[in-house]
């Protein structure tokens, strides 16, 4: 154990100031004179994006690209997120990375956000639960995480200057809640303060949330790092409790020294930041596993398993899927040959290999004809490509059309301006469905798209951005080796205009008013009775499940009691499969304005045909509470609450009531 206080006392003021910004883009500053080492950070987080320092050009090392967060969130599978985290932690050890920069748990306010693919959900409970497991998984391997981006970073447009202007209740219930859970339950080694302002103050200088909420209220013990380049005021950042500014900002170290000398900044505040940096260095050094290796082929198989556990079956009329391996099948669309596996920007991984659906099908001995249908990069088609697609569709018994968003449509750095697919992709759907009535559409996109053609294909599989093995996972599902069990972690509105933030999403100048307040995603659609294309929590299976016997262990309780809930779920179909049991709490009309229902628990269960499992949930005070902006605290209103077991946010299957007195 290093005596951190002693070490700190040996540092000069200049050295202390220099510690609070990076050495370069990825490393923290070392102070060799007293033996302080550097910590190595790296993006992801759905793989390792580490530079190869043995090469002159420092090119990114290849690493396994796992499914992006939009995909893994659809698994609704805590254990899977844990396993993914563990694997990433092991890989970080092998690559010499101390802190993996993720997970990103920002709330999806609008389908337009260019980074939605990097985030889990529109629902803070789901995002918080999955984020917790991811962090626990990575950190179980002696590697740190960086929970990001703290907070309300829900758009890329003017991301460095815009202010997310949000009412206190939405801040607590929507934008902070996922962070709160992960911080309290998993203590990430670091939390990353976002680029944007919150109600006028830059996140990195926001003392109220960093020192106040994160540290004092939630008991956060780790380090706060700025997003890369998000610190505008080094002194203000230290006062707020942002310990480390990344990347290197050596020119402004001087400001800190001057501020301490002139009495504008207390040396104690600087010492607190340095202490947390030194603790991170110590933790990293103590946990490094020299000579650690990772098995890239095994990880590729894992990536395929994770994707297969996450893809969402949206439509399957007449049980067209699963296809038969002896069927003569046409795969149409350039994404069949080279899938879109991830999004652009800082999370971009240099994958080790790619399994396309075409290759996976051929490897499985399936007879497939292929037509590209469109240009992969531009998304555009020509008469020749269109005719080839129609020919291929006609020549086969079943057609599988791979479409989606080209890379240029969504990335860190910009937002989409509409929710449409490329026009050529829409045209292809109609052309292929006319040529072959047994058509399946496979979608690759990082965020919801409009589907004006939804009535035309018999089946639709949402494959999202499923990582380097996604083609294998698609084939596993199309041909029934895996029964689909993903559920949407976001609502798919019919049109962009239906989204609650539509009128003001990009804001006016640098002010972005979150006028929809707590009514984000399904909280809005369900309360407003606004029809959606597919609701939050939606997804089909090749089997059927039935829930019954919903039991509450009490019909009345005080707000401090715990409510035990149990429900039986049975596989009543003919295929083994997994169901996601979703529990929502539905408050009766009280004084506070509330969404009709909110997700408060979920469980993924695997059942053989005929098998039943009793799922148990335990609800405590917070599951019933809302944030009271007058008392600045969580409050539980007395009254009746529905405990609903739902297929998805729209379909209630069972309900019992409990009264809180
Ligand atoms: C992104 C972060 C990322 C960092 C380092 C920033 O631009 O917002 O998510 O971890 O760069 O690459």
Q: Cα separation of 646 and 365, whole Å?
A: 39
Specify if 444 maps to a domain: yes
Tell whether 270 is covered by a domain.
no
Q: Is the CB of 249 under 6 A from ligand 1?
A: no
Counting ligand 1 atoms within 8 A of each CB, the residue from 47, 51, 149, 228 with the most, and so the one to mutate, is 228
Q: How large is the average pLDDT for residues 346-366?
A: 97
Query: How many A from CA of 345 to the centre of ligand 1?
Result: 8
Q: Is 542 in the pocket of ligand 1 (CB under 6 A)?
A: no
Mean pLDDT, residues 528-545:
98
Question: Ligand 1 test: best mutation among 44, 48, 101, 118, most atoms within 8 Å of CB?
Answer: 101
* Ligand 1, atom 6: closest residue by C-alpha: 228
Query: Do residues 67 and 184 both lie within one domain?
Result: yes
User: How large is the angle between the packed helices 296-308 and 78-95, nearest 10 degrees?
Assistant: 160
Domain count, the chain: 3
User: pLDDT tens-digit profile of 162-218?
Assistant: 999 999 999 999 999 999 999 999 999 999 999 999 999 999 999 999 999 999 999
Read off the pLDDT band of 248 (50, 70, 90): very high
- My answer on whether 359 and 232 are in the same domain is no
CA 596 centroid distance within chain: 24
273 C-alpha to ligand 1 centroid (Å): 21
| Predicted local distance difference test score (pLDDT) of residue 296 | 96
Query: What pLDDT does 590 receive?
Result: 85
Q: What is the CATH number of the domain that holds 434?
A: 3.40.50.1700
Short-list 497, 484, 656, CA closest to 580: 484
pLDDT at 88 over 80: yes
How does pLDDT run across 497-527, given as a tens digit for each residue?
999 999 999 999 999 999 999 999 999 999 9
Is residue 56 domain-shared with residue 178, that is, in the same domain? yes
Cα separation, 502 vs 112, in Å, equals 10
462 CA → ligand 1 middle, Å: 27
- Residues 633 and 501 placed together within one structural domain of the fold: no
- How high is the pLDDT of residue 589? 87
On the question of pLDDT at 496 being above 90, the answer is yes
Write the pLDDT tens digit of every residue in 440-477.
999 999 999 999 999 999 999 999 999 999 999 999 99
Q: Tell which one of 115, 227, 348 to mutate to probe ligand 1, the residue whose CB is within 8 A of the most ligand atoms.
A: 227
For residues 140 and 112, state if they share a domain: yes
Give the residue-averaged pLDDT of 313-336: 98
The verdict on 59 and 159 lying in the same domain is yes
The pLDDT value recorded for residue 17 is 98
Residue 74 — pLDDT band, cuts 50, 70, 90?
very high
Q: 195: CA distance to ligand 1 center in Å?
A: 10
Tokens (6 digits) for 68 = 């992006």
* Atom 11 of ligand 1, nearest CA residue: 228
Tens digit of pLDDT for each residue in 612-661? 999 999 999 999 999 999 999 999 999 999 999 999 999 999 999 999 99
Report the DSSP pairing between strands 144-150 and 99-100: parallel
- The mean pLDDT of the chain is 97
484 CA from centroid of ligand 1 (Å): 33
Do 623 and 650 fall within a single domain?
yes
Q: Which of 41, 43, 248 to mutate to test the pocket of ligand 1 (most atoms within 8 A of CB)?
A: 43
Q: What number does the ligand 1 atom closest to the CA of 118 have?
A: 9
Residue ID of nearest Cα to ligand 1 atom 7: 228
- Say if ligand 1 is within 6 A of residue 230 CB: no
| Torsion angle, alpha carbons of 579, 76, 453, 414, to 10 | 180
Residue 456 lies in a domain: yes
Residue 258 falls in the annotated catalytic set: no
Does residue 335's CB lie within 6 angstroms of at least one atom of ligand 1?
no
Final residue of a structural domain among 534, 554, 586: 534
The verdict on the CB of residue 87 being under 6 Å from ligand 1 is no
Q: If you take atom 12 of ligand 1, which residue's CA is the nearest one?
A: 346
Asked whether residue 556 falls in the same domain as residue 518, the answer is no
Instruction: Assess whether 123 and 174 both reside in one domain.
Output: yes
For position 1, what pLDDT does the model report? Answer: 72
CATH of the domain at 651: 2.60.40.10
Check if 118 has its Cβ closer than 6 Å to any atom of ligand 1: no
Our mutation pick for probing the ligand 1 site, out of 148, 346, 349, 414, counting the most ligand atoms within 8 A of Cβ, is 346
Q: Ligand 1 in contact with 101 (CB < 6 A)?
A: yes
- Is residue 26 in contact with ligand 1, taking CB distance under 6 Å? no
Question: Does residue 277 lie within any of the structural domains?
Answer: no
Residue with CA closest to ligand 1 atom 3: 346
In a domain, 161, yes or no: yes
**Residue from 227, 243, 415, 476 carrying the catalytic annotation:** 227
Confirm or reject: Cβ of 159 under 6 Å from ligand 1. no
Residue 312: its H or E element: strand 312-316
Residue 256 lies in a domain: no
**For residue 285, is it within any domain?**
no
Give the integer Cα–Cα distance in Å for 451 and 495: 9
Ligand 1 atom at shortest distance from the alpha carbon of 153: 8
Cβ of 150 below 6 Å from ligand 1: no
Which atom of ligand 1 is the closest one to the Cα of 194? 8
pLDDT at 2: 79
Q: What separation in Å is there between the alpha carbon of 346 and the centre of ligand 1?
A: 5
Q: Write out the residue range of the structural domain in which residue 125 sits.
A: 31-245
CA distance 590 to 641: 10
**Mean per-residue pLDDT for 22-42?**
97
Residues 520 and 623 in one domain: no
Instruction: Indicate whether 318 and 222 sit together in one domain.
Output: no
pLDDT at 283: 98
Q: Residue 156: CB within 6 Å of ligand 1?
A: no
Is the CB of 196 inside a 6 Å radius of any atom of ligand 1?
no
Ligand 1 pocket check for 225: Cβ under 6 Å: no
pLDDT given for residue 156 in this prediction: 95
Residue nearest to atom 9 of ligand 1 (CA): 346
Helix boundaries (H) for 417-570: 423-435, 470-478, 522-528
CA 154 / ligand 1 centre spacing (Å)? 14
Calculate the alpha carbon distances from 280 to 1, 38, 146, 286 in Å: 12, 10, 12, 10
Q: Which atom of ligand 1 approaches the CA of 101 most closely? A: 10
Would you say the CB of residue 228 lies under 6 angstroms from ligand 1? yes
Distance set, CA 604 to CA 79, 432, 613, 617, 653 (Å) = 9, 35, 11, 12, 16
Looking up residue 84, the CATH number of its domain turns out to be 3.20.20.300
Which of 336, 226, 270, 243 has its CA nearest to residue 11?
Answer: 270
Per residue, the 3-state secondary structure of 349-380, as one string, reads: CCCCCCCCHHHHHHHCCCCEEEECCCCCCCCC
For 388-445, the pLDDT digits (tens) are: 999 999 999 999 999 999 999 999 999 999 999 999 999 999 999 999 999 999 999 9
Mean pLDDT across 120-130: 98
Query: Would you say residue 82 lies in a domain?
Result: yes
Instruction: Say yes or no: 525 and 552 in one domain.
Output: no
148 lines ligand 1 (CB under 6 A): yes
């Amino acid at each position: 154990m290093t005596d951190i206080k002693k070490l700190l006392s040996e540092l000069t003021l200049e050295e202390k100031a220099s510690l609070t910004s990076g050495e370069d883009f990825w490393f923290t500053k070392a102070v060799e004179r007293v033996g302080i080492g550097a910590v190595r950070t790296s993006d992801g987080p759905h793989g390792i994006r580490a530079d190869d320092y043995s090469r002159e050009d420092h090119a990114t090392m290849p690493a396994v690209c796992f499914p992006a967060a939009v995909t893994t969130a659809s698994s609704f599978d805590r254990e899977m997120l844990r396993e993914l985290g563990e694997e990433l932690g092991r890989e970080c050890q092998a690559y010499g990375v101390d802190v993996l920069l993720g997970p990103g748990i920002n709330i999806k306010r609008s389908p337009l956000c260019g980074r939605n693919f990097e985030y889990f959900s529109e629902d803070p409970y789901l995002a918080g639960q999955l984020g917790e497991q991811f962090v626990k998984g990575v950190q179980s391997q002696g590697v740190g995480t960086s929970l990001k981006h703290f907070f309300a970073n829900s758009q890329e447009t003017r991301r460095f200057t815009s202010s997310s202007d949000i009412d206190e209740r939405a801040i607590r219930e929507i934008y902070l809640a996922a962070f709160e859970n992960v911080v309290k339950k998993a203590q990430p080694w670091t939390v990353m303060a976002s680029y944007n302002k919150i109600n006028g103050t830059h996140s990195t200088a926001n003392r109220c949330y960093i020192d106040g909420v994160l540290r004092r209220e939630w008991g956060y013990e780790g380090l706060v790092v700025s997003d890369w380049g998000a610190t505008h005021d080094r002194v203000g950042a230290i006062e707020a409790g942002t310990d480390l500014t990344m990347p290197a900002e050596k020119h402004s170290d001087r400001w800190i020294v001057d501020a301490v000398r002139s009495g504008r900044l207390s040396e104690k505040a600087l010492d607190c930041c340095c202490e947390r940096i030194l603790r991170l260095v110590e933790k990293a050094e103590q946990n490094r596993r020299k000579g650690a290796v990772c098995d890239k082929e095994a990880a590729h198989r894992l990536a395929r398993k994770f994707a297969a556990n996450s893809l969402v079956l949206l439509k399957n009329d007449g049980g067209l899927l699963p296809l038969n391996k002896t069927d003569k099948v046409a795969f149409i669309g350039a994404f069949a040959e080279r899938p879109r596996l991830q999004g652009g920007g800082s999370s971009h991984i240099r994958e080790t290999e790619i399994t396309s659906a075409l290759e996976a099908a051929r490897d499985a001995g399936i007879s497939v004809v292929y037509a590209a249908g469109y240009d992969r990069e531009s998304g555009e088609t020509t008469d020749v490509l269109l005719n080839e697609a129609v020919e291929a569709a006609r020549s086969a018994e079943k057609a599988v059309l791979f479409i989606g968003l080209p890379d240029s449509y969504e990335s860190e750095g910009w937002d989409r301006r509409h929710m449409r697919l490329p026009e050529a992709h829409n045209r292809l759907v109609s052309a292929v469905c006319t040529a072959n009535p047994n058509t399946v559409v496979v979608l690759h996109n990082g965020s919801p798209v409009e589907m004006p053609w939804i009535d035309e294909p018999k089946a639709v599989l949402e494959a999202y951005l499923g990582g380097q093995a996604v083609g294998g996972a698609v084939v596993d599902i199309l041909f029934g080796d895996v029964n689909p069990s993903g559920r949407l972690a976001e609502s798919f509105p019919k049109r962009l205009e239906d989204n609650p933030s539509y009128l003001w999403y990009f804001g006016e100048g640098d002010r972005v008013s979150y006028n929809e307040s707590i009514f984000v995603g399904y909280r809005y659609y369900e309360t407003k009775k606004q029809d959606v294309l597919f609701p939050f929590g939606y997804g089909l299976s090749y089997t059927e499940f039935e829930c019954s016997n919903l039991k509450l262990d009490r019909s009345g309780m005080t707000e401090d009691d715990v409510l035990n809930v149990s429900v039986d779920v049975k596989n009543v179909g003919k295929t083994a499969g997994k169901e996601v049991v979703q529990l929502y709490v539905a408050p009766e009309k009280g004084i506070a304005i509330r969404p009709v229902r909110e997700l408060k628990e979920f469980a993924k269960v695997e059942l053989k045909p005929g098998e039943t499992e009793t799922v148990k949930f335990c609800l405590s005070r917070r599951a019933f509470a809302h944030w009271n902006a007058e008392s600045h605290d969580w409050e539980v209103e007395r009254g009746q609450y529905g405990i609903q077991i739902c297929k998805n946010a729209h379909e209630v299957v069972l309900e019992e009531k409990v009264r809180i007195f």
